Amino acid sequence: MSEQMKLLELVEKRKIVPVVKLDDAKDAVPLCGALCEGGLPVAEITFRTEAAEESIRRASKAFPDMLIGAGTIVNTEQAKRAADAGAKFLVTPGFSRKVTEFAIENSLLIFPGTCTPTEIMAALEYDLNIVKFFPAKQYGGLDTIKALSAPFPSVRFMPTGGVSAANLQEFLAYKKIIACGGSWMVKDVYIKEGRFAEITRLTKEAVELAG
């Protein structure tokens, strides 16, 4: 089994991918520690801040067994920085041929962002049949995923955007959903105020809900 397949199995097993935004790399280790303590050793650290690359580097070093990836990757320069920092997977908000090709050439697991049939077809042209569905809630949520599953029976989705403790189980109950992404347990305010115990509590709750 390829390294990518093994990582994919882990994502599927964990069922939830916390989407994290870190303004300060000093928070990376406590944040990842809080997720691990909550029973969810997975983090998508987004390139929405300057601290992303260093955060991935520090967290990957401190938690080598944790599934730490990079999110909000919008170009190959970020993809390269993320990979060099130790990211085990890449997530893009939309579909980018350049980033997808970079990931494939470098044997990196990628969840390309899609929300239309056209974007899914673009992903399938690269033999990628596991895609992020973003922004999930705003683009019709589970109903849209079910409608997209009809013409694309081989495709599995990682809905992200608007997922919360209130609708997690509903999403996960649909067999075409491999995992859900979301920030509800790692909200900015908890990180900024150092409320890592709260992150652990919400993570535990999410893990229980995911079952």
Asked whether the CA dihedral 62, 48, 178, 166 is positive or negative, the reply is positive
Instruction: Enumerate residues 136-195 that contact ligand 3PG by CB under 6 A.
Output: 160-163, 181-184
Catalytic member of 15, 21, 88, 132: 132
Q: Does residue 78 touch ligand 3PG according to CB under 6 A? A: no
| Smallest gap from residue 135 Cβ to ligand 3PG (A) | 7
Count of alpha carbons within 13 angstroms of residue 168, beta-carbon side: 24
Q: Is 26 a catalytic residue?
A: no
Instruction: Enumerate residues 8-47 that contact ligand 3PG by CB under 6 A.
Output: 19
Nearer to ligand 3PG, 48 or 176 (CB): 48
Nearer to ligand 3PG, 3 or 170 (CB): 170
User: 17 and 134 in contact (C-beta within 8 Å)?
Assistant: no
The DSSP code for 64 is T
| Smallest gap from residue 162 Cβ to ligand 3PG (A) | 5
Catalytic member of 15, 21, 44, 88: 44
Nearer to ligand 3PG, 85 or 158 (CB): 158
Q: Is 44 a catalytic residue?
A: yes
Nearer to ligand 3PG, 160 or 200 (CB): 160
The DSSP code for 49 is S
Residues 6+ apart with CB under 8 A from 31: 20, 22, 43, 59, 186, 191, 196, 199
Instruction: Enumerate residues 128-147 that contact ligand 3PG by CB under 6 A.
Output: 134
Alpha-helical regions (H) of the chain: 3-14, 28-37, 52-62, 76-85, 97-105, 117-125, 141-149, 168-172, 188-192, 196-210
Active site residues: 44, 132
Q: Which residues bind ligand 3PG (CB under 6 A)?
A: 19, 134, 160-163, 181-184
